[in-house]
Amino acid sequence: MVAEGILMNKIPFTKMNGAGNDFIVFDNRDGILDNLDLKAFVKKICDRRFSLGADGVLVLENSKIADFSMRYFNSDGSEAEMCGNGARCIARFAYLKGVAKEKMIFETKAGLYEAEVVEDRVRVKFPDVDLSKIQLDQSYKFSEELEKYHFATVGVPHTVFYVDDFSNLTHEKIVELGRKVRYCTEIFPKGANVNFVKVIDENTIAVRTYERGVEDETYACGTGAVSCAIVSTLLGKVKPPVVVKVLGGTLKVHFKIEGQKTTEIFLEGDARVVAEGYILPDGWSW
Ligand SMILES: N[C@@H](CCC[C@H](N)C(=O)O)C(=O)O
């Protein structure tokens, strides 16, 4: 009887990751999530101890103007305009569920995105980025170590800091420094994601990212990879296409700089389905 009761409100999910940035994905075309307080629900199910655990949640919904619409929630329940790795994962999910063909177009709060799925790899085309949205060589004393920064909005806000090597940047240090920047509301009233970049060669950078809304370092950040690749190119440190090495793997960013715009921006990498199942009320209703 008890088991039956528990199973009554089960919600189907798919667990995915792109370069280790992991998500719980829901198909909400039939409104299965509509009666839930989504912020609270997301926060609960992203808990890695008491529930399934993830960096964020992707919700696929119907769209009147595209193949589908994507909503993205960080693990703290906050809804963000865009998620690059999430976009790659939801594109593969949509393809596998028959919602879209290999080539698709979908809505996000940051605009329309295109994607192409080739087996377990997904390439997402971003809207052009106006160079006026990119601030190079800014200065603010966030801490003894962090002063010179660059800023780009690529769907969501990203700060970029260059480091000579990562050997002293432990995970704890990334979190400590990341929080100093992320919560500096004087400069970033809505907060910002914080990227630490090491230039490896003229086509390769390594990036570690502290993510707003996860409030931790993640294994990869797609919009962060795009921001760092564009900023590094504008500063003359690399040339596109840029290979971005992250903790969870490798991403590739293609783009062109044309006049005042960055055009033809593509983010490419793996998008894997690791599990499918049901979330039970015990997983979110405590
Ligand atoms: N992991 C993401 C970025 C998600 C949004 C971010 N945490 C924010 O709130 O700005 C990515 O792959 O782009």
pLDDT of res. 235: 98
- Distance of alpha carbon 277 from alpha carbon 70, whole angstroms: 20
Q: Which has the closest alpha carbon to 56: 33, 80, 36, 35?
A: 80
Whether the link from the prior residue into 241 is cis, omega within 30° of 0, is yes
Quick one: pLDDT at residue 4? 56
Dihedral angle computed from the Cα positions of residues 250, 126, 156 and 97, in that order, rounded to the nearest 10 degrees: -80
Q: Ligand 1: does its nearest atom lie under 6 Å from the Cβ of 182?
A: no
Per-residue model confidence as pLDDT tens for the chain (286 residues): 445 555 568 999 999 999 999 999 999 999 999 999 999 999 999 999 999 999 999 999 999 999 999 999 999 999 999 999 999 999 999 999 999 999 999 999 999 999 999 999 999 999 999 999 899 999 999 999 999 999 999 999 999 999 999 998 999 999 999 999 999 999 999 999 999 999 999 999 999 999 999 999 999 999 999 999 999 999 999 999 999 999 999 999 999 999 999 999 999 999 999 999 999 999 999 8
d(CA 131, CA 236): 15
Per-domain residue ranges of the chain: 2-120+272-283, 129-269
Q: Check if 184 is active-site.
A: no
Q: Specify the pLDDT at position 286.
A: 86
Q: Is 221 in the pocket of ligand 1 (CB under 6 A)?
A: yes
CA dihedral angle for residue 223, residue 13, residue 274, residue 81, rounded to 10 degrees: 0
As for the ipTM of the complex, it is: 0.97
HSE-CB of 266 using CA atoms within 13 angstroms: 14
Same CATH topology for 2-120+272-283 and 129-269?
yes
User: In sequence order, which ranges of 194-279 are alpha helices (DSSP H)?
Assistant: 222-234
What was the pLDDT predicted at 5? 55
Ligand 1 atom, smallest distance to 87 CA: 12
- Catalytic residue, chosen from 46, 83, 89, 228, is 83
User: Is residue 248 within 6 Å of ligand 1 at its C-beta?
Assistant: no
Q: Give the bridge partners for 126, in sequence order.
A: 265
CA 155–ligand 1 middle distance (angstroms):
9
How many other CB atoms are there within 10 angstroms of residue 48's CB atom?
11
The dihedral formed by the CA atoms of 53, 58, 61 and 63, expressed in degrees to the nearest 10: 180
> What is the topology classification, in CATH, of domain 2-120+272-283?
Diaminopimelate Epimerase; Chain A, domain 1 (3.10.310)
In angstroms, rounded to a whole number, what is the distance separating the alpha carbons of residues 217 and 254? 24
Q: Does the beta carbon of 27 lie inside 6 Å of ligand 1?
A: no
Q: Residue 193 annotated as binding?
A: yes
Options 3.10.310.10, 3.20.20.210, 3.30.160.100, 3.90.420.10; CATH of 129-269: 3.10.310.10
What is the Cβ-side half-sphere exposure of residue 224, based on CA atoms within 13 angstroms?
31
